[in-house]
Structures are given as C-alpha cells and as structure tokens.
Chain A
Amino acid sequence: MEKKPELIPAWDAHVHLGGLPGSVPQRVAALLKHADRVGVEKIVVFMGTTWASHPTPDKFRRDNDEVLQAIAAAPDRVMGFVYLNPRYERECLAELDRCVRDGPMVGVKLWIAMTCDRPELDPIARRSGELHVPILQHAYWRVGEALVDESRPPDMAVLAARHPQTSFICAHTGNDWERGIRAIRATRNVYVEICGSDPTAGMVEMAVREVGAERVLYGSDAAGRSYASQLAKVYGAEIPEEFKRLILRDNLRRLLGPALAARGVKR
C-alpha cells in the first residue's frame, strides 16, 4: 500500500464558475468536492457562469450576483472578487461599493476589457487601495497576436507603479512565465500567480528566485484546469517546505487578511 503524502493546506486564488454544469450552488459543491480531495481549503471565485470579454454594466452586475450566490452557498470556503469593465468608470465604482465596500467580496478581477496600463484603470486601482483589496489582472504574453485588449505583464508593471499603495496579482504569470516574471519583478506590489499553464518544472523555482516566495501565489484556473495539475507546480518544486506553505496558502491569507478581517470571515 502506497503511503499517501501529506497535503499542504491551500487557498486557491483563481477559480471560475464556468466549465461546470448546474446551478451556482451545484457548481460550488462540485468545486469544493474536488478541492477537498487535494487539500484546497478556500477558493477565490470570479466572473459568472457565462463570460463576456467586454461586459456591459448589466452583464458584470449579473456575473457578480452569481459570485455572491457562490459565496452564500459556502461562506466559510468561497471568497469572491468583483468583475469589472474599466470602460464604465461610474458603474465600476458603484459595483465596487456594492460588492466590496458593502458586500462580502475581497478583491477585483479584470480580464481583457482594456489593456491595464491605460489611465481608465486609475480610479479602480485607487479605490481598491482604499478598500485594501487586491486587483487580479489577467496577463498573457503570447508568441503570436494578443487577444483584443489583452494585457501583458509589462502593462501590469506600468499600472502597479502608478499605484504603489494597491496590491496587484499577475494572473498566469503571463503564461510565458520566463518573460512574465522578469517583467514584474521590480514592481514590488505585484504578486505572481501561477495558474493556468501546462505544469512545467522550474516555473515556481524561478519565481521564488526572482521575486521571493512571499510574492508567489497558488491558483488553478479551475474548472478549466484541475487543482491538482496546478498544485503539482508547487509540490514538485525544488524549494523549501516553508516556501510551499507560503505559496499555497499563507501569502494569499496575508494579502486578503485586512479585507477578511473587516468582514468577520474566519481565516
């Protein structure tokens, strides 16, 4: 009989409600069932059951309503980030207030509505800093053409440099992680989040070497990817055990700490 290795408790910074069947509570149940198998204690969920790259305010409010449902389905385990489209400044700020200031959400998710170095993002970045919640920005560095309005890690560095009081999460580490890590390493308020690419040996080691273990976050991109495949990037990394604990849970817990504490959420 093989000995089952000890699981390290994990918080997942990047989970979606898409890619699964059923109602929002059924999707949450499925996500948590798989999370239980691999030691994922809590998940951050954002965007709705259907995605829009350039959502209207009505659409992103509906998406956020679904995330609120997800949180309500398992408030001790599901956290939410509010999804916004920076093309609608007034509506974005109102939605931030509804979901974060007055609601249970603890961060902001931005996808590909606008490249993130643009000044239109400044009001959102400022407000997020005031509310002590991070902004998770999709960032991809493709060898071919980017998607329309898609951000790359250097764009994140530009935005983050303008807002040193706000924390940013570079989702996917740009996918081309060897360039992505370099692009954000000097911008100390940007965290590296490792989700969504094929697991490749050396990724986490490079991130730890270049930005320090305290700035690296585990994420999966479930349900599009499995928790397990992305956990393997950390479990298999040649780094000390205490760094794995930071990456898998403690860094995100620290980053979200003020927002969770303000909401009385058990950590």
Chain B
Amino acid sequence: MIIDVNVNLSRWPFRRTPCDDPRSLVATLLRNGVGQAWTGTLDGLFHRDVGGANARLAEECQRCGLGLLVPFGSVNPLLPDWHEDVRRCRQDFKMPGIRLHPNYHGYRLDDAVFAEVLQAAQRQGLIVQLVLRMDDVRVQHRLMQVADVDLAPLAKALAVVPRLPVVVLNVSRANSADLKKLAALRMFPSIAPCGREWAAWRSWSRPSPWSACCSAPTCRCFPCSRHCLSSASPS
C-alpha cells in the first residue's frame, strides 16, 4: 500500500488547483494507488479559529475520505490556549498527529514555544509533521512572502524529545542548506524527511502525477529507509 504523508484539504488562497475538493482529491489518490493519505488543512495555516479548522478537517476526512484520509490537525502555539488544540486532536478527533507551520504562524525552531509544542505532542503520543515551506520563495504572491523554516535549531529542540516521531515535510531540493541541516538530524531515529518530492524517487521508474522534485539529494544525506512519500496534493 502506498502511504502519502502529505496531502491537504481546503484551498490555497491564490490559486485553484484541479483536485482541491475532497471528493476529487480522494478519487485522484485512489486512481494512483494511494491507500492512505495523511491529511492536513490549508485553513490551519491562515485561520485563527484553528479549533474550527481541525473539526472540519476531521469531519471531511470521515465523510469523504473513504477510509483513506487520515486527519492531521494544525496547531499554532502562538494562539491562546493552544494546548487545548493538541488535546482535541488526540482525544476528540482521534488524530495520530499534528502539523506545524512555524513560518506561517510566526515562530522559529529555537523559540521556547516550539520545544513546548513538541513536548505536548509527545505527551499525547502524537506524530509531529513539520512543514518547511509551502511555496517557492522566489515566486510567492507579493502580499504573502514567507521565508522557509530554518532547520538548523531542530537538532537541539529534538534532544529533549528524542523519541518523538517527526516527519519533515517539503524539504526543498532547491535549498541545499536544507540538505546539510537535514544530514545533521540523522542520529534521531524517529525523523523522516520528505521532499514534496520523495515521490520522484519512486518516479524514476513510475511517473506519479504529484511527484515533485528529485529526492536523490535527500537520499544522499539521509537513509532512504526513512523517507516517506509526500505529494503535497492537491497543489
């Protein structure tokens, strides 16, 4: 079974994409042999009512997902009472993990709040998905220019929670600095990097409709056995 660890519901604010509604997204995933898709919500990047966004995500995954969409709620640790969002993700919505967007929410990986959210996730037994970028910084919309997340402080943050499963999403092959910093994380057995990207590794033999950049560089700095397939669908 193919597991895609990176799909999204809702819409990107600056573009419609061909399968940005849940039913056509699921149909596309099924058509391409994906048996499980770890699913976040783009609303989680932009909405301050993250609780509402996560509730909709859980409901849509249940209603439209045909058992394939597994919800990963968003947590913004700069919002008041964000611990409650973590708790709801695990206990109310039965999610296996959460997705973090530090650059869109406005914190760095060496900020104390990042360490706090990792610890909260570990206490709840959640996987953490850390998204490094959503859009190429060279061509972002002029009203929303967001720098990539700097991975450098991640090793130090993880030292406190070494067994926390962390999936690093949207590693950029265009950003060689990412790759060097990624290499420094090899000692953490629970880290899994994914370009949006990794799909292309597979695609050397089988072009995938969503595959993005070549993951060979990430495979050179990180064992292939710890890569995950990550499409960033529907974008």
Q: Give the B-binding residues of A (Cβ under 8 A).
A: 2, 4-5, 7, 34, 37-38, 140-144, 175-176, 178, 197-202, 205, 225-226, 228-229, 231-232, 235-238
Cβ distance A34 to chain B, nearest Cβ, rounded Å: 6
- The reply to whether B15 and A229 contact each other, CB–CB distance below 8 Å, is no
Cross-interface CB contact of A199 among B137, B205, B212, cutoff 8 Å: B212
B145 within 8 A of A: yes
Q: Identify which of B16-24, B87-95, B123-131 touches chain A.
A: B16-24
- The reply to whether A232 and B212 contact each other, CB–CB distance below 8 Å, is yes
Closest to B137 in A: A143
- Assuming the contacts A175-B139, A226-B216, A229-B197, asked whether A202 and B210 have C-beta atoms less than 8 A apart, the reply is no
Question: Looking at chain A's contact residues, is the secondary structure mostly helix, strand, loop, or mixed?
Answer: loop
Closest to A34 in B: B204
Q: Give the A-binding residues of B (Cβ under 8 A).
A: 15-19, 33, 136-142, 145, 172-174, 196-197, 199-200, 203-214, 216, 233-235
- The reply to whether B207 and A7 contact each other, CB–CB distance below 8 Å, is yes
- Inter-chain residue pair count (beta carbon < 8 A): 101
CA distance A37 to B141 in the complex (A): 36
- The reply to whether A226 and B206 contact each other, CB–CB distance below 8 Å, is no
- Assuming the contacts A143-B139, A197-B136, asked whether A5 and B212 have C-beta atoms less than 8 A apart, the reply is no
Cross-interface CB contact of A228 among B15, B33, B196, B214, cutoff 8 Å: B214
CA distance A231 to B216 in the complex (A): 16
- The reply to whether A238 and B139 contact each other, CB–CB distance below 8 Å, is no
- The reply to whether B211 and A228 contact each other, CB–CB distance below 8 Å, is yes
Cross-interface CB contact of A229 among B139, B212, B233, cutoff 8 Å: B212
Cross-interface CB contact of B213 among A34, A141, A229, cutoff 8 Å: A229
7 example contacts (A-B, Cβ-Cβ < 8 A) are as follows A140-B138, A200-B15, A201-B17, A201-B235, A225-B173, A226-B200, A232-B203
- Assuming the contacts A176-B139, A199-B210, A199-B212, asked whether A2 and B33 have C-beta atoms less than 8 A apart, the reply is yes
Q: What 4 A-B pairs are tightest by C-beta distance, nearest first?
A: A236-B209, A226-B214, A228-B203, A176-B139
- Assuming the contacts A225-B213, A226-B213, A232-B212, asked whether A238 and B18 have C-beta atoms less than 8 A apart, the reply is yes
- The reply to whether B211 and A232 contact each other, CB–CB distance below 8 Å, is yes
- Assuming the contacts A178-B15, A201-B235, asked whether A229 and B204 have C-beta atoms less than 8 A apart, the reply is no
- The reply to whether B207 and A198 contact each other, CB–CB distance below 8 Å, is no
